[in-house]
Structure 1
Amino acid sequence: MRFNASATTRINTRAYERGLRRALGGMSDDVKTAVGRTRIDVQNEARRRAPVDTGRLRSSIVSREESSGRAVGYTVGTNVKYAEDVENGTAPHVIVPKNGKALYWPGARHPVGKVNHPGTRAQPFMRPAIEMTEIFFRANLSQVRAGRGRR
């Protein structure tokens, strides 16, 4: 089925943009400060929730600000390859040797050709931290606007 109809609408946004700039001009520094604090809060929450064995995953969680013009945001993440498996868990799978013909580990009775791994349960740490963004942002913006001390 084809539709052969279209509509064009023009909206003069200049006045709107001027008003928006005036309204946001006073709070843009406050918003930027609150976003920066929120970035650190989310990063720290992800670190707090990350399971610890060696501490590598926890210490790898970092954040960075991403700004473009008036838009300000951030990214929180990790470069550890197994982070996604920790966050989401893994299904049962077979482990085979990468080098050589057999697997061996201290305490094993003998080398083996493969291991049937039962999988791992999910241990979400990043998703729950990100879900707290709005709570952190609202609290930080209120603190900044109230003029309370810096962290």
Structure 2
Amino acid sequence: MSKLGGITEDRLKRNMAALYILGNRLGKDMERHAKTSAPWTDRTGSARGGIQGGAEKTTRGATIVLAHSQQHGAFLELGTGLYGPIGAPYDIVPTLSSALFWDGANHPVTSVRRHPGMEARPILKPTAERHKHAIKRSVQQLFGGN
């Protein structure tokens, strides 16, 4: 049993394991909050259901993770078109057929030109901001700090 800066190797391993367990619990708490507080209206439920929280082991202990597993999660977080990172309207064209159709449309259309996009409806960053003080307190408690 060697010592690393006054801490035994065994104690360091236990601390890292405890940090991962704590991070995973906090990540799951954030996942629950994000899923129940997401500001968008569900159509299929895949974006809300695709929010994943937990922890990943690292060489320094753990990293808390909160992410979308669905590709369109990025559009909800960042917005699209004029409201998104590109800041410009875009064209919507069919990729699997020759026309587009949606409920309420008068007829199929070949494209939607210069669509302005949609505003961002973020939940990941607001959830992380809301939980950052609780995360800090939990880590301090784990290691006996104030």
TM-score normalized with structure 1 length: 0.66
Pairing partner for 1:35 from 23, 29, 41: 23
1:8-57 CA deviation, whole Å, 9 max, x = no partner?
Answer: xxxxxx97x332448x65x8265444323321222223223322313221
Q: Which has the higher contact order (CA 8 A, sep 6+)?
A: 1
Q: Counterpart of 1:86 in 2: which secondary structure?
A: helix
Q: Which of 100, 103, 115 in structure 1 is aligned with 2:100?
A: 103
Provide the residue aligned with 2:135 in structure 1: 137
Highest Rg: 1 or 2?
A: 1
* Conservation of the 8 A alpha-carbon contact between 1:89 and 1:119: yes
| Structure 1 gap segments, 5+ residues each | 1-13, 147-151
- Structure 1 position 113 matched with structure 2 position 110: yes
Aligned to 1:82: 72
Q: For 1:65-98, what per-residue CA distance to the aligned partner results, in whole angstroms no more than 9, with x for missing partners?
A: 3224551223222221110000000012211122
TM-score of the two chains, using structure 2 as the length reference: 0.68
Query: What is residue 19 of structure 1 aligned with on the other side?
Result: 6
CA contact (8 A) 1:42 1:132 kept: no
Q: Which runs of 5+ in 2 are unaligned?
A: 82-88
Question: SS of the residue aligned with 1:94?
Answer: strand
State how many pairs are aligned: 131
Find the residue that maps to 2:100 and give its secondary structure: coil
Q: Distance in 2 between matches of 1:31 and 1:99?
A: 47
Q: Distance in 1 between matches of 2:60 and 2:92?
A: 49
Which whole-Å CA distance do the structure 2 matches of 1:31 and 1:64 have between them?
12
Return the structure number with greater strand share.
2
Q: Which residue of 2 aligns with 1:71?
A: 61
Say if 1:115 and 1:31 are closer, same or farther in 2 by CA, change over 3 A: same
